[in-house]
Structure 1
Amino acid sequence: MEPLPTRSVLALADAITPRYRLAVWLGFGLGLREGEALGLTEARVEFLKRRIRIEQQAQRGTLVELKTKASRRTLPVDDGVLAEIAGHMQRYSPGPEGVLITNRIRKIPRRSSFGDCWREAVEKAGLPKGTRFHDLRHYYASTLIAANLNPKSIQRRLGHATIAETFDTYGHLFPDDEDLGRGAIDAKIEKDLAEQSRNKKEA
């Protein structure tokens, strides 16, 4: 699994029909699964707290419960994603049960029709045939790993049931054990000697 580059996820957001642009941002900006993105409601977006609650998903044009307890989660949201959500809400009125992303008749999109638009966007963006919505989730996970987030935090944000699932999927993206901790001893000695020197001067 090789994560998509940033230019590719942004190209997909620009290429897909505007009504579904937000779904792409929710995929690569928050790691949401397709059903979770299409099932997000305005009530679960907390702008002041800069977070969203994932509590349901869209399935066959309706909102249903999530498959696992781990999938139910609260995610911190970056400003760029919040701006996309706010812009979408200004352009499109919510659909059934306050769902943010709707089709042209203001219903919850079905997977088949959304899939058609997704494949068109993939082709328009010049990406390989077979590029999946799930690949946006890999982009999100790889970005968190590169930012040195604790693996347990990454597990919770992705909604994985176990840490083993996270490592099985993304273990190759974490730093090799041989590289971890290199420089830690030098930094510790340098810090402690500097502190000792300051204390002597103050005394």
Structure 2
Amino acid sequence: MKFLFDLFPVILFFIAFKAYDIYVATAVAIAATFAQIGWVWFRHRKVETMLWVSLVIIAIFGGATLILQDESFIKWKPSVLYWLFAVVLLLAHAIFKKNLIRIMMKEQIVLPEPIWARLNASWAAFFAMMGAINLYVAFNFSTETWVNFKLFGFMGLMLVFIVLQGLMLNRYMEDKEDNEA
């Protein structure tokens, strides 16, 4: 359910684009992101940093799209967000010696330290690649194709990447019960 909630602004963007145009869809995505944050704040009295970052980026790039009536800005938004994720993962590890992937997943799986480092690097590389793919599709295909790819292509790539990560991690995962004995 959280997955669908996280996709809420993207899904509404897609629907608004299909019903109207890129500018209405952009305004809907901005409003949906504000609503999403409002709902999270109302329910938990805390909003994750990633959601705030997403709001700032959609407000800046979406706002520029609406004010300047130039769809190029909204097309850059996913790339900027993905590249920001990649940079944060790499800098947190290199400068602060914090593996953010490990911090997020340590309750679910136990892995040897070198594998955590590889996992962190692979997620950073994946996000960097996603940013590049977004720009390729955004500026080499129609806006319609880009919007479809933004929802379905990114979701498909993410699913394939997660499955591949799971297959790679399976051979390294330590049984939590073995560690607790």
Task: Give the structure-2-normalised TM-score.
Answer: 0.25
Higher strand share: 1
Higher helix share: 2
Greater relative contact order, per chain length (Cα 8 Å cut-off, separation 6+)? 1
Task: Give the structure-1-normalised TM-score.
Answer: 0.23
Larger Rg belongs to: 1
